[in-house]
Structure 1
Amino acid sequence: MTPSTAPERRLHVVSGKGGTGKTTIAAALALALAEEGRRTLLVEVEGRQGIAQLFETEALPYAERRIAIGPGGGEVYALAVDAEKALLDYLQMFYKLGGAGRALRRLGAIDFATTIAPGLRDVLLTGKVCEATRRRRPDGRFVYDAVVMDAPPTGRVTRFLGVNDEVAGLARMGPIHQQAQAVMGVLKSAETAVHLVTLLEEMPVQETADGVAELRAAGLPVGAVVVNMVRPRVAEPNGEPSDGPAAEPADVAPEALAEALRSAGVRQPERLVGPLLTQHADYAERQSLEAAQRAELTALELPVRELPLLADGADLAGIYRLARRLRDHRW
């Protein structure tokens, strides 16, 4: 990673519109941050067990468990945060109600509380993630060098991260107020960055722009925009990828194309001219649309990281390939 005088980001919140691959990017980022001797914690808060599926392991428990070794030789741990168990931790930590909390659980009171008060669930989830970010060893060093949260989608992430601001305003004093302030202190600090995953398509880019505006208005630190599943550009005759726009279909003469195919040994090349020109028109249109979306993202004045489309899908080998790409950037 490139040296910098800026504070090191320790909590990386990864969000994005559904279908953009935010869980895959969160996993790849956790691997990328696992440099030699470093430990990264990858946290899931939505209960989907997406991380376990990506790493081809059994369902994650409410316990931090090592699941991978990063490309840089560090360790990646994972945790699936459960709101009910996080509430038991909270009751024990601040009110020493370990036994009473378990009794409430048996009575179903905890499940009832987290169901009727969705905001309470978000408080518990963000609180657990921030606790892991702040946790230190007996020698004073952090237990984890970086924490990566696979967060809710873009449309909900600002409310999810900002819920403790509301709680701090409602509870003017006491442990609840102090805990909410401590959590927001972490989330709004220079140690935190909210990264948004998108595609070069109109709806995901628009949702990303809206998400950036909401996060900035809430005082939450925005990190980078990760453009996922970028399809390769067509190469020029010299083998180098083309950086310019594709030629317009009208610029390609059917007769010249047929002659080029004939020279290459293609029989009855006239039969291929129409389909090839149609494909070329589709490619040119896609390149034009993607260029417009890149311009929209550039206007956000944020670092933009592009990652390639994985031909074989987001399997474990693919996640490691993405992680190696992400290691080239500072996070």
Structure 2
Amino acid sequence: MSRFHVVSGKGGTGKTTVAAALALALAAEGKRTLLVEVEGRQGIAQLFETQALPYAERKIAVAPGGGEVHALAIDAELALLDYLQMFYKLGGAGRALKKLGAIDFATTIAPGLRDVLLTGKACEAVRRKDKGGRFVYDHVVMDAPPTGRITRFLNVNDEVAGLARVGPIHNQAQAVMRVLKSAETAVHLVTLLEEMPVQETVDGVAELRAAGLPVGGVVINMVRPALLDETAVDVVANGQRPAVAKALSRAGLGGAQRGGPADLLIDPLLEEAREHTERVALERSGRAEISGLGLPTYELELLGDGVDLAGLYRMARGLRKQGVAS
């Protein structure tokens, strides 16, 4: 099973929420998961109702069965200082560079350097072992950039390895790509059953596959319940007004005669029902496109009151029931 889970998706699909729920699901039964944020939005801290994440790994939740979720907000400047210390032993000189603004300048001006540092730090956590030779974290989950730039974000180390033919930068870039293109990694895409998110998911999967990056599964988020059964859909589709009138009458809303109380409700109800059936048809079409990708698919229901901490645990249970951690 993959150990590095990269979660991406079109903006507004809830990828940060899904990443957090996935981290909880994978941490169940005594496992340790690291949830990584790379975009500096502190969305993870808000979801878990905790203080802003520092550039340090910190336990933020306990999963069912005694597992732990730790979290880390990767700061590109501090990651560069780590990098300089690791390969060049700069120590105090590195801190001096930060004070002079050189670190901020480098992460801003150097093409792709920021993404190299972010992916490198996450992959280091994936590979890290304790003194007994066991992995420190059973799983690492990254709340990654949106679908539109996920392939370039993950593939930037390939470009860097090509530019720097020798030396520690080349070796580090190659080491990161060995993790990202291995069976250890799975890139999951979050979508909604709407036209634009589904199309972006299809395009994203094609780009990831073309780049040789391992695609995991598709998480369909905020799935709304079907309110009408097939019979009701048929009634609406065929405009069977008398059948609706009789149903209202049987429900005690007055007679079915023209102009009666039941009759006045028919047109508004049929209009709402038509809108619902159109949405159901769109969702069916979206499911068909996603099914055509040939990937594992998971569905998470729409939480009407928004996602609080209890909702996050509920989503994690839903993912586990669908086998995401098996």
TM over 0.5: yes
Q: What residue is the counterpart of 2:263 in the other structure? A: 270
Identify the match of residue 233 of structure 2 among 235, 239, 246.
Answer: 246
* Contact in 1 for aligned 2:34/2:71 (Cα 8 Å): yes
Instruction: Report SS of the residue matched to 2:126.
Output: helix
The yes-or-no answer on 1:231 pairing with 2:224 is yes
Q: Deviations over 1:10-34 (max 9, x none)?
A: 0000000000000000000000001
Q: What is the deviation of 1:110?
A: 0.3
Instruction: Report SS of the residue matched to 1:19.
Output: coil
Residues in 2 aligned to 1:115 and 1:248: alpha-carbon distance in whole angstroms? 60
Instruction: Report SS of the residue matched to 1:276.
Output: helix
Q: What residue is the counterpart of 1:5 in the other structure? A: none
Q: What residue is the counterpart of 1:62 in the other structure? A: 55
Residues in 1 aligned to 2:91 and 2:195: alpha-carbon distance in whole angstroms? 50
Q: What residue is the counterpart of 2:324 in the other structure? A: 330
* Contact in 2 for aligned 1:246/1:287 (Cα 8 Å): no
Identify the match of residue 9 of structure 1 among 2, 15, 19.
Answer: 2
Q: What is the deviation of 1:192?
A: 0.4
The yes-or-no answer on 1:25 pairing with 2:12 is no
Residues in 2 aligned to 1:179 and 1:314: alpha-carbon distance in whole angstroms? 38
Q: Could you tell me which amino acid in structure 2 is paired with residue 41 of structure 1?
A: L
Residues in 2 aligned to 1:253 and 1:47: alpha-carbon distance in whole angstroms? 54
Counterparts in 2 of 1:248 and 1:188: CA distance versus 1, 3 Å: farther
Q: Could you tell me which amino acid in structure 2 is paired with residue 128 of structure 1?
A: K
Q: What residue is the counterpart of 1:73 in the other structure? A: 66
Instruction: Report SS of the residue matched to 1:59.
Output: coil
5 Å matches for 1:1-331? 8-234=1-227, 236=229, 246-247=233-234, 249-267=236-254, 268-328=261-321, 329-331=323-325
Instruction: Report SS of the residue matched to 1:67.
Output: strand
Please give the TM-score of this superposition, normalised by the length of structure 2.
0.95
Q: What residue is the counterpart of 2:257 in the other structure? A: none
Instruction: Report SS of the residue matched to 2:116.
Output: helix
Moved over 3 A (4+): none
Residues in 2 aligned to 1:12 and 1:245: alpha-carbon distance in whole angstroms? 41
Q: Deviations over 1:90-144 (max 9, x none)?
A: 0111111121100000000000111112400000000000000100000000000
Counterparts in 2 of 1:285 and 1:92: CA distance versus 1, 3 Å: same
Q: Percent identity?
A: 73
Residues in 2 aligned to 1:272 and 1:330: alpha-carbon distance in whole angstroms? 45
* Contact in 2 for aligned 1:226/1:304 (Cα 8 Å): yes
Residues in 2 aligned to 1:248 and 1:16: alpha-carbon distance in whole angstroms? 37
Q: Could you tell me which amino acid in structure 1 is paired with residue 131 of structure 2?
A: P
Q: What is the deviation of 1:248?
A: 5.4
* Contact in 1 for aligned 2:235/2:243 (Cα 8 Å): no
Residues in 1 aligned to 2:293 and 2:243: alpha-carbon distance in whole angstroms? 43
Residues in 1 aligned to 2:76 and 2:237: alpha-carbon distance in whole angstroms? 59
The farther-off stretch of 140-149 and 300-309 is 300-309
* Contact in 2 for aligned 1:245/1:287 (Cα 8 Å): no
Q: Could you tell me which amino acid in structure 1 is paired with residue 11 of structure 2?
A: G
Q: What is the deviation of 1:320?
A: 0.8
Counterparts in 2 of 1:165 and 1:204: CA distance versus 1, 3 Å: same
Counterparts in 2 of 1:109 and 1:77: CA distance versus 1, 3 Å: same
Residues in 1 aligned to 2:294 and 2:91: alpha-carbon distance in whole angstroms? 48
Counterparts in 2 of 1:97 and 1:52: CA distance versus 1, 3 Å: same
**Gaps spanning 5+ residues in structure 2: where?**
255-260
Q: What is the deviation of 1:235?
A: 5.6
Instruction: Report SS of the residue matched to 2:159.
Output: helix
Instruction: Report SS of the residue matched to 1:91.
Output: helix
Residues in 1 aligned to 2:77 and 2:206: alpha-carbon distance in whole angstroms? 32
Q: What is the deviation of 1:252?
A: 4.8
**Gaps spanning 5+ residues in structure 1: where?**
1-7, 237-241
Q: What is the deviation of 1:245?
A: 9.2
Q: What is the deviation of 1:70?
A: 1.3
Residues in 2 aligned to 1:71 and 1:26: alpha-carbon distance in whole angstroms? 17
Q: Could you tell me which amino acid in structure 1 is paired with residue 44 of structure 2?
A: I
Q: Could you tell me which amino acid in structure 1 is paired with residue 126 of structure 2?
A: T
Q: What is the deviation of 1:233?
A: 1.2
